[in-house]
Amino acid sequence: MELRGRRILVCDCEKTMPLDAEKLRDACHANGASGEIELNTQLCRGQLANFQAAIQGDAPVLVACTQEAPLFAEIADEEQAKGELDFVNIRESAGWAAEAESATPKIAALIAAASEAVAPTRTVSFKSEGVCLVYGSDERAIEAARQLAGSLQVTVLLTSGQGILPPRRMDVPIFQGRIKAAKGHLGGFAITVDGYASALPSSRLELLFEAPRDNAYSECDLILDLTGDAPLFPEHDRRDGYLRPDPDNPALVQKAIFDVAGLVGEFEKPRYVDYDPAICAHARSQKTGCNRCLDHCPVSAITPDGDTVAIDPQVCGGCGLCASVCPTGAVTYALPGGNSLFERLRTLLSAYRAAGGGQPDLLLHDERDGAEMISAMSRGGRGLPASVVPLAVNEVTQVGIDFFALALGYGAHAIAILIPPSHRAELAGLASQMALAETVMEGLGHGGGRIHLIGEEDPDAVEAALFALSPGDAAKPGTFLPLGGKRTRTMLGLRHLHDVAPSPQDILAMPPGAPFGAVNVDKGCCTLCLACVGACPTGALLDDPDRPWLGFNEEACVQCGLCANTCPESVITLEPRLNFTEAAKSTVTLNEAEPFECIRCGTPFGVKPTIERITQQLAGKHPMFMDSGRIERMMMCENCRVVAELESDDTPFKAAARPRTHTTEDAFREREIEEARAKVLAERARQGKAEGSDESS
């Protein structure tokens, strides 16, 4: 069987899954597959030849088994297979379950979703030369350093040398001090130490040290922390290159020593998030707006950087909380890249219904703890209900309102999220996004209680919670594509939920802090200075270069508050709400006025009500504006104002009249005038002589 150009191989795992080949074929055909399905029974052993035949050629292959993925990948390498090789788990997710005979639509959906192409993810590089700091408080740190000395460049830093017997041979350098500040990552740690001192070679019964000094600075590639004190970094388990085992547990210490010894060379990890500073709503002109990513990052990988933020990809642990809570989509989760997750979500839910399933419940889990939990339920319990369709993500905390809106818009009846133990202190951001989705569902009449957090560690408790998901009707599923950025995706899902709502509300009130809403302006006090337009990071506030006018596009507003914080008159207020009317997509006028015309040249400038109000308040009342000329200059454009100022008698910049430039043309004209004058005088003289001679005669 083929689906989207991929060859599909299915195995019932030695008949431990009650798979019906004909039903599964029909279910897959409903999702666009073609050809007959060959149901294997022992694909990884007795029928391995079927796999070897399938990987011949260039076509990609999808194997419905993840347990034996290493074996299949090894054989593909040996055969030099050219086609892409992927795997999907249908056994623990569907086939090993009490309701396995009803799980055919789910199996078809899992196969269809796994056939979707996944966009590649960029990587981040590390380079470690093996410079290691062993930080401890007793002889155990020295012993760990000795074990590492053969493969790493090791230095020991003890919080105190009191009572520690000096080693017979100083085969590792030993210092004393307490780390007061640490930053960095694998291959690039930097520490600041107080009480720093090197061990004296004359130490006899216990280690003695030179005179200590504070604020000593050092760099290293790796840190092995055996102090048992508070960790040097928040969420230290995600800090690559920093290992902090319990010093009282020898097994964990030995495992850490083994792990740190292998951290030499060049390494890569995914670049978990992408960042677009152009649409970041953090700040403008030193006015703070949105701090969501800064407040929720558990490893302090995000720091303010002027009007935007800086994300250190080498420190980032990949929890995705920044992408979850970002209102504009400036931060996006990049594992997988692009819209791959949302396209797979759409395929999963639509394929489930197309294959004959009813209303699906979506189970969101990670690839580590969540997959282990599902495996435990399938092996020792009832497994997943037939209506519960699992979707694996890198971190469950990476999803936000856009994911919830799309999942519910594509027809998910409920969304259950398996919370791993490592994330139970990081749920504030996820909870805020869940609350937004629940508010929308309640307000539109779909009913709340759609999204559930499951944090139990007992597989039986998780299983019970999944079988007890509240009954109800899912929203009529949409077929829209998850196009655009976060904001666009979110509105696509929310508008569909509004269109199919039992009781649609055109304007739905939202809680404070929601990234949707309107901006209200007190027109009577607004001077149309338009400072808010320059501060708006999303282009929700607009101006017109030809007239005093302030416009607003509600669908673009994320309620960051920068406009209100920037407004010098404090006349802007925010109104969190969801506006489903067409007016939210178009630009509306918040305030406008006529321009004032210059009293000297008639050029329009400024805002007429503002200039009139200012002149009324200052004329004859302020000492600087007792003169009518100064008031008149306030009613002139900038060019005329300068000319009038220079023409004024009391201006300190006034100078003598500029002398007229004497040109060649002027010289010619003056010569002509002189010549004409000489002719006139000569003529008069001639006439005078003639009259004198007549009188003589």
CB-CB neighbours of 122 under 10 Å? 13
Length of the chain: 697
Which token pair is 307? 């009007």
E strands, 140-258, are 153-158, 174-183, 189-198, 216-220, 222-225, 242-243
Q: What's the confidence (pLDDT) of residue 240?
A: 94
pLDDT tier, 685 (very low <50, low <70, confident <90, very high otherwise): confident
Rounded Cα distance, 38 and 56, in Å: 17
Given this model, what pLDDT does residue 624 score? 65
Condensed to tens digits (0 to 9), the pLDDT of residues 663-676 reads: 888 888 888 888 88
Evaluate if residue 692 carries a pLDDT over 70. Answer: no
Percent of the chain's residues with pLDDT above 90 = 77
Q: Which of 160, 144, 153 is nearest to 209 (CA)?
A: 160
Burial of 630 (C-beta count, 10 Å sphere; 0-12/13-18/19+): middle
- Over residues 203-211, the mean pLDDT reads 93
Q: 402-416, 453-467, 635-649, 653-667: which range is least confident on average?
A: 653-667
Average pLDDT over residues 223-246: 95
Q: How confident is the model at residue 653 (pLDDT cuts 50, 70, 90)?
A: low
- Following DSSP, what letter does each residue of 655-687 receive, concatenated? -PPPPPP--HHHHHHHHHHHHHHHHHHHHHHHH
Closest CA to 94 of 66, 71, 62, 60: 66
pLDDT at residue 697 greater than cutoff 60: no
Distance of CA 125 to the CA centre of its chain: 21
The bridge status of strand 547-553 relative to strand 541-544 is: antiparallel
Residue 662: the pLDDT is 82
Is residue 11 pLDDT above 60, yes or no? yes
- Please give the pLDDT value at position 595: 85
User: Burial letters for 642-674: b for 16+ Cβ neighbours within 10 Å, e otherwise?
Assistant: eebbeeeeeeeeeeeeeeeeeeeeeeeeeeeee
Mean pLDDT score of the chain, rounded to an integer?
Answer: 92
Comparing 689 with 241, the larger pLDDT belongs to 241
Q: Average the pLDDT over each of 78-87, 114-123, 464-473, 624-633 and give the range with the smallest value.
A: 624-633
pLDDT per position as a tens digit, 523-568: 988 989 899 999 999 999 999 988 899 999 999 999 999 999 999 9
Mark out the alpha helices in 98-244 (DSSP H runs).
104-114, 139-148
Pick the more confident residue, 377 or 606.
377
Q: How confident is the model at residue 103 (pLDDT cuts 50, 70, 90)?
A: very high
Q: Give pTM, 2 decimals.
A: 0.86
Sign of CA dihedral 267, 268, 272, 277: positive
Find the mean pLDDT for residues 405-427.
92
How far does the chain reach from its first CA to its final CA, in angstroms?
144
Question: Is 277's pLDDT higher than 90?
Answer: yes
The values of phi and psi at residue 465, to 5°, are -65, -35
Q: Is the pLDDT of residue 610 over 90?
A: no
| 112 half-sphere exposure, CB direction, 13 A CA radius | 30
Predicted local confidence at residue 158, as pLDDT? 97
Distance of CA 415 to the CA centre of its chain: 23
Q: Which helix or strand (DSSP H or E) is residue 275 part of? A: strand 273-275
Least confident of 245-249, 505-509, 636-640: 636-640
Instruction: Check pLDDT > 80 for residue 648.
Output: no
For residue 607, the model assigns a pLDDT of: 81
Greater confidence (653 vs 318) lies with: 318
Sign of CA dihedral 65, 69, 73, 76: negative
Cis check: omega of the bond before 336, within 30 degrees of 0: yes
pLDDT for residue 524: 85
